[in-house]
Amino acid sequence: MDGGGGGEQFDSRTVEDVFGDFKRRRTALIKALTVDVEEFYQQCDPEKENLCLYGLPNEQWEVNLPAEEVPPELPEPALGINFARDGMEDKDWLSLVAVHSDSWLLSVAFYFGARFGFDKASRKKLFNMINELPTIYEVVTGAVKKQQKEKSSGHSGKKSKSNSKAQRAPDYQEKLAKLQPKDEEEGLDEQEDEDEHGETLCGACGENYAADEFWICCDICEKWFHGKCVKITPAKAEHIKQYKCPSCSHKRARVDI
């Protein structure tokens, strides 16, 4: 199957190349389970045949039937994810898909490692690079965010100061401006604030905080997102009284049905 794994398009042979492929597929899967969760939910129709969730090397995702060839070109994702959709709570189902997606990503990465003859040192290097990233499960369930919230009470406090996202977003952007400190003490304060934010991960793509990017926080789950990942601009945030991320909006829609 051309779309399932994309293995026939992958011919790089270094640890960095395999890790790059891992990151792009991971980005696609996180997008399916967060930003595009409503579309993903609709595609996983229990009335259809066994379906799999694929993360592609071009950072796109697709729900499709498994590969027909046996054995397949690449390891296959969990089969039949659609059958459990209506028999579980949404968050539990998404968590289950996330766990299986993590397993699949590792299997694909180490398939390439074996295929390209990586030695012990190269395999260890690849694993260590992968292990520096939060798992898809951690991103989807907010497990990493909960740990960071315990470590950084000041950061979480900023999130609950105001009920208005329009007020909060510009204030957050003010911190991103990286203005020159007026004195040494102010400079140290800004560095500490930068370090706190640096531990924050985007709830959509799983990447770290960057000082030159606009972020917005969900008023429901309190996860932070890159504005570009959830299609929110600073100007648009000015007019949002209560921001709900795609996952929380989807949950609310399900309750109303």
Mean of the per-residue pLDDT values of the chain: 78
User: How far is residue 139's CA from residue 145's CA, in Å, rounded to a whole number?
Assistant: 8
CATH numbers and ranges of domains, the chain:
15-147 (no CATH), 215-250 (3.30.40.10)
Global confidence as pTM: 0.63
pLDDT at 16 over 70: yes
- What phi, psi does 99 have (nearest 5°)? -60, -45
- What pLDDT score was predicted for residue 72? 85
In this prediction, residue 206 has a pLDDT band, given cuts at 50, 70 and 90, of confident
Q: Are strands 224-226 and 61-64 parallel, antiparallel or unpaired?
A: unpaired
Say what the pLDDT of residue 222 is: 83
Q: In angstroms, rounded to a whole number, what is the distance separating the alpha carbons of residues 166 and 152?
A: 23
Residue 195 has pLDDT above 80, yes or no: no
Using the predicted structure, report yes or no on whether residue 135 has a pLDDT greater than 60. Answer: yes
Q: How many CB atoms lie under 10 A from the CB of residue 32? A: 28
CA 208/CA 203 separation, integer angstroms: 10
For residues 227-238, give the mean pLDDT: 83
Does position 15 have pLDDT exceeding 70, yes or no?
A: yes
pLDDT value for 7: 44
* DSSP-assigned letter for residue 216: E
Give the separation between CA 36 and CA 247, rounded to whole angstroms.
Answer: 8
Percent of the chain surpassing pLDDT 90: 46
Give whole-number Cα distances, 85 to 82, 91, 212, in Å: 5, 10, 38
The predicted-structure confidence for 47-104, as pLDDT tens digits, reads as follows: 999 999 999 999 999 999 998 888 888 999 999 999 999 999 999 999 999 999 999 9
Q: Distance (Å, rounded) from C-alpha 257 to C-alpha 253?
A: 6
Helix (H) or strand (E) holding 26: helix 15-33
Pairing state between β 215-217 and 61-64: unpaired
Residues 6+ apart with CB under 8 A from 250: 37, 38, 41, 90
Of 35-39, 125-129, 152-156, 250-254, least confident by mean pLDDT is 152-156
Does the bond joining 66 to the residue before it have cis omega, within 30 degrees of 0?
no
DSSP state of 79: S
* DSSP-assigned letter for residue 72: -
Q: Is the confidence at residue 11, as pLDDT, over 80?
A: no
Read off the pLDDT of each residue in 116-141 and give the average, rounded to a whole number: 95
Task: Report how far residue 38's alpha carbon sits from residue 218's, in angstroms, rounded to the nearest whole number.
Answer: 17
Question: For residues 168 and 161, is the Cβ–Cβ distance under 8 A?
Answer: yes
Q: Is the pLDDT of residue 210 over 80?
A: no
